[in-house]
Amino acid sequence: MRHNLAKEKLATGKPINVVAPGYSSAGLVEMLGRMGFDAVFIDCEHGPVGWEDVEHMVRAAELVDVTPIVRVQSNDHSTITRALDRGAGGVQVPHINTHAQAEAAVRAAKFAPIGHRGYAGGRASLGVKGNFTVHANAETMVIAMLEEVEALKNLDEILKVEHIDAFFIAPGDLAQSMGYPGQMDHPDVQAAVQDAVRRVRAAGRAPGVLATNGASARRFLDLGALFIYVALASLLQPGARDFLAEFK
Protein backbone atom coordinates (compact mmCIF):
# COMPACT_ATOMS: atom_id res chain seq x y z
CA MET A 1 0.00 0.00 0.00
CA ARG A 2 1.51 3.28 -1.17
CA HIS A 3 1.37 6.76 0.31
CA ASN A 4 -2.14 8.10 -0.23
CA LEU A 5 -1.75 11.38 -2.09
CA ALA A 6 -5.49 12.06 -2.22
CA LYS A 7 -5.81 11.62 1.54
CA GLU A 8 -2.86 13.94 2.06
CA LYS A 9 -4.46 16.65 -0.08
CA LEU A 10 -7.77 16.42 1.75
CA ALA A 11 -6.03 16.56 5.11
CA THR A 12 -4.43 19.88 4.12
CA GLY A 13 -7.75 21.32 2.95
CA LYS A 14 -7.09 20.94 -0.77
CA PRO A 15 -9.89 19.63 -3.02
CA ILE A 16 -9.53 16.33 -4.87
CA ASN A 17 -11.18 15.08 -8.04
CA VAL A 18 -12.45 11.51 -8.23
CA VAL A 19 -13.38 9.89 -11.55
CA ALA A 20 -15.57 6.81 -11.94
CA PRO A 21 -14.71 4.77 -15.06
CA GLY A 22 -17.90 2.73 -14.80
CA TYR A 23 -16.22 -0.32 -16.34
CA SER A 24 -13.98 -3.16 -15.20
CA SER A 25 -10.82 -1.99 -16.95
CA ALA A 26 -7.32 -1.69 -15.55
CA GLY A 27 -6.26 -0.01 -18.79
CA LEU A 28 -8.90 2.66 -18.37
CA VAL A 29 -7.74 3.30 -14.81
CA GLU A 30 -4.17 3.74 -16.02
CA MET A 31 -5.24 6.16 -18.74
CA LEU A 32 -7.31 8.27 -16.33
CA GLY A 33 -4.45 8.37 -13.86
CA ARG A 34 -2.09 9.64 -16.51
CA MET A 35 -4.62 12.38 -17.33
CA GLY A 36 -4.10 13.76 -13.85
CA PHE A 37 -7.06 12.69 -11.73
CA ASP A 38 -6.43 12.41 -8.00
CA ALA A 39 -8.48 9.27 -7.40
CA VAL A 40 -10.37 6.61 -9.31
CA PHE A 41 -13.70 5.26 -8.06
CA ILE A 42 -14.13 1.49 -8.33
CA ASP A 43 -17.81 0.67 -7.94
CA CYS A 44 -18.63 -2.67 -6.32
CA GLU A 45 -22.15 -1.64 -5.32
CA HIS A 46 -23.75 -0.84 -8.67
CA GLY A 47 -21.03 -1.55 -11.22
CA PRO A 48 -19.90 -4.78 -12.89
CA VAL A 49 -16.62 -4.95 -10.97
CA GLY A 50 -15.70 -8.27 -9.37
CA TRP A 51 -13.00 -8.90 -6.79
CA GLU A 52 -10.38 -9.94 -9.32
CA ASP A 53 -11.17 -6.79 -11.30
CA VAL A 54 -10.67 -4.74 -8.13
CA GLU A 55 -7.17 -6.12 -7.69
CA HIS A 56 -6.17 -5.40 -11.29
CA MET A 57 -7.66 -1.91 -11.21
CA VAL A 58 -5.90 -1.15 -7.92
CA ARG A 59 -2.58 -2.25 -9.42
CA ALA A 60 -3.14 0.05 -12.40
CA ALA A 61 -3.94 2.94 -10.06
CA GLU A 62 -0.76 2.34 -8.11
CA LEU A 63 1.22 2.37 -11.35
CA VAL A 64 0.19 5.96 -12.05
CA ASP A 65 0.01 7.25 -8.43
CA VAL A 66 -3.75 7.72 -8.40
CA THR A 67 -5.66 6.69 -5.28
CA PRO A 68 -8.03 3.73 -5.81
CA ILE A 69 -11.27 4.12 -3.83
CA VAL A 70 -13.61 1.15 -3.70
CA ARG A 71 -17.30 1.63 -3.06
CA VAL A 72 -18.28 -1.52 -1.21
CA GLN A 73 -21.70 -3.15 -1.46
CA SER A 74 -22.66 -2.42 2.12
CA ASN A 75 -21.43 -1.37 5.53
CA ASP A 76 -20.19 -4.89 6.18
CA HIS A 77 -16.99 -5.70 8.06
CA SER A 78 -15.83 -8.58 5.85
CA THR A 79 -16.60 -6.72 2.62
CA ILE A 80 -14.67 -3.63 3.72
CA THR A 81 -11.74 -5.79 4.81
CA ARG A 82 -11.72 -7.63 1.50
CA ALA A 83 -11.52 -4.39 -0.48
CA LEU A 84 -8.70 -3.03 1.65
CA ASP A 85 -6.72 -6.28 1.57
CA ARG A 86 -6.63 -5.94 -2.20
CA GLY A 87 -4.82 -2.65 -1.82
CA ALA A 88 -7.59 -0.07 -2.03
CA GLY A 89 -6.48 3.32 -0.80
CA GLY A 90 -9.92 3.92 0.58
CA VAL A 91 -13.43 2.59 0.95
CA GLN A 92 -16.61 4.50 0.22
CA VAL A 93 -19.37 3.08 2.40
CA PRO A 94 -22.99 3.49 1.27
CA HIS A 95 -26.09 4.40 3.28
CA ILE A 96 -24.56 5.86 6.42
CA ASN A 97 -27.55 7.22 8.29
CA THR A 98 -26.50 7.26 11.94
CA HIS A 99 -23.55 7.95 14.22
CA ALA A 100 -23.38 4.22 15.04
CA GLN A 101 -23.24 3.22 11.37
CA ALA A 102 -20.44 5.71 10.74
CA GLU A 103 -18.50 4.33 13.69
CA ALA A 104 -18.99 0.78 12.40
CA ALA A 105 -17.50 1.72 9.02
CA VAL A 106 -14.43 3.20 10.70
CA ARG A 107 -13.96 0.18 12.94
CA ALA A 108 -14.08 -2.14 9.94
CA ALA A 109 -11.57 -0.07 7.96
CA LYS A 110 -9.00 0.56 10.70
CA PHE A 111 -6.81 -1.74 12.75
CA ALA A 112 -6.56 -1.43 16.54
CA PRO A 113 -6.40 0.78 18.47
CA ILE A 114 -8.79 2.72 16.23
CA GLY A 115 -10.90 -0.20 15.01
CA HIS A 116 -10.93 -3.95 14.62
CA ARG A 117 -10.12 -4.57 10.95
CA GLY A 118 -9.34 -8.25 10.49
CA TYR A 119 -5.64 -8.84 10.10
CA ALA A 120 -4.56 -10.61 6.95
CA GLY A 121 -2.75 -7.91 5.02
CA GLY A 122 -3.12 -9.42 1.58
CA ARG A 123 -1.38 -7.65 -1.26
CA ALA A 124 -1.92 -4.34 0.58
CA SER A 125 0.92 -5.26 2.95
CA LEU A 126 3.43 -6.10 0.24
CA GLY A 127 6.46 -3.83 0.30
CA VAL A 128 5.43 -2.00 3.46
CA LYS A 129 8.41 -1.36 5.71
CA GLY A 130 7.75 -1.38 9.43
CA ASN A 131 4.41 -2.04 11.07
CA PHE A 132 1.77 -2.61 8.41
CA THR A 133 -1.14 -1.86 10.75
CA VAL A 134 0.25 1.57 11.62
CA HIS A 135 0.91 2.30 7.94
CA ALA A 136 -2.56 1.16 6.86
CA ASN A 137 -4.32 3.21 9.54
CA ALA A 138 -2.43 6.31 8.42
CA GLU A 139 -3.00 5.83 4.69
CA THR A 140 -6.52 4.35 4.42
CA MET A 141 -9.36 6.69 3.52
CA VAL A 142 -12.91 6.24 4.77
CA ILE A 143 -15.70 8.04 2.91
CA ALA A 144 -19.22 7.99 4.34
CA MET A 145 -22.08 8.22 1.87
CA LEU A 146 -25.08 10.23 3.06
CA GLU A 147 -27.97 9.12 0.90
CA GLU A 148 -31.21 9.48 2.82
CA VAL A 149 -33.18 12.17 4.62
CA GLU A 150 -32.37 10.31 7.85
CA ALA A 151 -28.66 10.93 7.27
CA LEU A 152 -29.18 14.67 6.93
CA LYS A 153 -31.33 14.73 10.07
CA ASN A 154 -28.52 12.98 11.93
CA LEU A 155 -25.72 14.87 10.21
CA ASP A 156 -24.46 16.75 13.27
CA GLU A 157 -23.97 13.48 15.16
CA ILE A 158 -22.44 11.69 12.17
CA LEU A 159 -19.91 14.49 11.78
CA LYS A 160 -18.61 13.81 15.29
CA VAL A 161 -17.20 10.45 14.18
CA GLU A 162 -13.43 10.65 13.80
CA HIS A 163 -11.24 9.07 11.10
CA ILE A 164 -13.71 9.74 8.27
CA ASP A 165 -11.98 11.62 5.46
CA ALA A 166 -15.03 12.80 3.52
CA PHE A 167 -18.80 12.88 3.80
CA PHE A 168 -20.33 12.35 0.36
CA ILE A 169 -23.85 13.70 -0.16
CA ALA A 170 -25.34 11.48 -2.87
CA PRO A 171 -28.12 13.27 -4.80
CA GLY A 172 -29.65 10.24 -6.55
CA ASP A 173 -30.77 8.26 -3.52
CA LEU A 174 -31.36 11.45 -1.58
CA ALA A 175 -33.85 12.57 -4.24
CA GLN A 176 -35.70 9.28 -3.91
CA SER A 177 -35.71 9.57 -0.12
CA MET A 178 -37.15 13.08 -0.41
CA GLY A 179 -39.97 11.90 -2.68
CA TYR A 180 -38.41 12.95 -6.00
CA PRO A 181 -37.23 9.67 -7.55
CA GLY A 182 -35.02 10.24 -10.58
CA GLN A 183 -34.96 14.01 -10.00
CA MET A 184 -31.61 14.70 -8.42
CA ASP A 185 -31.61 18.16 -10.05
CA HIS A 186 -34.88 19.09 -8.36
CA PRO A 187 -34.45 22.44 -6.58
CA ASP A 188 -35.37 20.95 -3.19
CA VAL A 189 -32.80 18.18 -3.61
CA GLN A 190 -30.06 20.54 -4.68
CA ALA A 191 -30.91 22.87 -1.81
CA ALA A 192 -30.55 19.94 0.61
CA VAL A 193 -27.19 18.98 -0.92
CA GLN A 194 -25.89 22.53 -0.69
CA ASP A 195 -27.06 22.89 2.89
CA ALA A 196 -25.31 19.63 3.81
CA VAL A 197 -22.10 20.81 2.16
CA ARG A 198 -22.17 23.99 4.22
CA ARG A 199 -22.84 22.07 7.43
CA VAL A 200 -20.04 19.58 6.79
CA ARG A 201 -17.58 22.36 6.02
CA ALA A 202 -18.70 24.39 9.05
CA ALA A 203 -17.85 21.37 11.20
CA GLY A 204 -14.32 21.40 9.81
CA ARG A 205 -14.84 18.23 7.80
CA ALA A 206 -14.60 17.50 4.06
CA PRO A 207 -17.83 17.51 2.02
CA GLY A 208 -18.16 15.33 -1.06
CA VAL A 209 -20.50 15.87 -4.02
CA LEU A 210 -21.38 14.69 -7.50
CA ALA A 211 -20.38 16.97 -10.38
CA THR A 212 -21.46 16.45 -13.98
CA ASN A 213 -19.09 18.87 -15.71
CA GLY A 214 -16.53 21.56 -15.03
CA ALA A 215 -19.14 24.23 -14.37
CA SER A 216 -20.92 22.20 -11.69
CA ALA A 217 -17.56 21.28 -10.15
CA ARG A 218 -16.68 24.97 -9.90
CA ARG A 219 -20.03 25.78 -8.23
CA PHE A 220 -19.44 23.13 -5.57
CA LEU A 221 -15.81 24.12 -5.08
CA ASP A 222 -16.92 27.69 -4.49
CA LEU A 223 -19.45 26.34 -1.97
CA GLY A 224 -16.69 24.55 -0.08
CA ALA A 225 -16.84 20.97 -1.34
CA LEU A 226 -13.50 19.17 -1.26
CA PHE A 227 -14.28 15.70 -2.65
CA ILE A 228 -15.57 16.13 -6.21
CA TYR A 229 -16.81 12.97 -7.93
CA VAL A 230 -17.56 12.75 -11.65
CA ALA A 231 -18.56 9.85 -13.87
CA LEU A 232 -16.42 9.35 -16.95
CA ALA A 233 -19.59 9.08 -19.05
CA SER A 234 -20.55 12.63 -18.04
CA LEU A 235 -17.25 13.91 -19.39
CA LEU A 236 -17.44 11.89 -22.61
CA GLN A 237 -21.01 12.73 -23.59
CA PRO A 238 -20.51 16.38 -24.61
CA GLY A 239 -17.52 15.57 -26.81
CA ALA A 240 -19.27 12.61 -28.42
CA ARG A 241 -22.41 14.67 -29.02
CA ASP A 242 -20.46 17.47 -30.71
CA PHE A 243 -18.52 15.04 -32.87
CA LEU A 244 -21.56 13.05 -33.99
CA ALA A 245 -23.51 16.23 -34.76
CA GLU A 246 -21.15 16.80 -37.68
CA PHE A 247 -22.52 13.67 -39.37
CA LYS A 248 -26.17 14.73 -39.30
State whether residue 69 is helix, strand or coil: strand
CA distances from 230 to 56, 93, 140, 215, 245 (A): 21, 17, 21, 12, 24
CB 159 within 8 Å of CB 166: no
**Residue 148 φ/ψ, nearest 5 degrees:** -130, 165
Task: State how far the alpha carbon of 45 is from the alpha carbons of 67, 97, 190, 212, 219, in Å.
Answer: 18, 17, 24, 20, 28
Say whether the peptide bond before residue 238 is cis (omega within 30 degrees of 0).
no
User: Taken in order 48, 52, 54, 56, is the CA torsion positive or negative?
Assistant: negative
Going from the C-alpha of 10 to that of each of 14, 27, 112, 181, 205, the distances in angstroms are 5, 26, 23, 32, 9
Question: 195 near 212, Cβ under 8 Å?
Answer: no
Distance set, CA 79 to CA 1, 208, 213 (Å): 18, 22, 32
> Which residues are catalytic, by number?
46
Q: Are 33 and 57 spatial neighbours (Cβ–Cβ below 8 Å)?
A: no
